[in-house]
Structure 1
């Protein structure tokens, strides 16, 4: 399994709106791509901003290519990102997942 990590920052007042927009764009497009295995969004507050980290999970690099295009190290951005005053990281990180376990109590 491969984890793909992307980060961005938005002004605090755009946080909820952008999170919804992220579901309608990145999550929706990812989940429609064969080989997609799940996603997580992390959020943390900064001074007047919110940082969001999107982790998507994939079965193999070829599936990420189908989603991201030829250069999988480049972030996939969307036309209305600027509406939310998005400060995106323009590159993404990929990791081999060597442990993937959640507590059965969750």
Structure 2
């Protein structure tokens, strides 16, 4: 299994709106892709802004390519991201999941 990590920051006043938009775009698009296993959205308070981390989980790299295109290190951004004054990372990180345990 492969974990794909993407991060962005946005002003606190746009946090809830952006997370809702993230469900409508990134989560919907990934969950409609063959080989998608799951996702987590994490948030961290940075004072005046919020850091949002999207972790998606995939069966393998080929499944990620079906979502992102051939260059899997480039973030897939959406047209209305600017509406939330988003400061997105342009690149994503990938990790091999060695263990996954939930209590």
TM value normalised by structure 2: 0.99
Please name the residue that 1:75 is paired with.
Answer: 75
Gapped runs of 5+ residues in structure 2? Answer: none
Report the 3-state secondary structure (helix = DSSP H, G, I; strand = E; otherwise coil) of the residue aligned with 1:67.
helix
Report the 3-state secondary structure (helix = DSSP H, G, I; strand = E; otherwise coil) of the residue aligned with 1:75.
coil
Distance in 1 between the 2:69 and 2:11 partners?
29
For residue 86 of structure 1, report the CA deviation from its aligned partner. 0.4
Task: Report the RMSD for the aligned CA atoms in angstroms.
Answer: 0.4
Match runs of 1:41-56 below 5 Å: 41-56=41-56
Gapped runs of 5+ residues in structure 1? Answer: none
Please name the residue that 2:4 is paired with.
Answer: 4
Please name the residue that 1:24 is paired with.
Answer: 24
For residue 40 of structure 1, report the CA deviation from its aligned partner. 0.3
TM value normalised by structure 1: 0.96
- State the Cα deviation string for residues 14-73 of structure 1 (Å, max 9, x = none): 000000000000000000000000000100100200000000000000000000001100
Report the 3-state secondary structure (helix = DSSP H, G, I; strand = E; otherwise coil) of the residue aligned with 2:10.
strand
Q: How many pairs align?
A: 103
1:66 corresponds to 2:66: yes
Please name the residue that 2:34 is paired with.
Answer: 34
Report the 3-state secondary structure (helix = DSSP H, G, I; strand = E; otherwise coil) of the residue aligned with 2:51.
strand
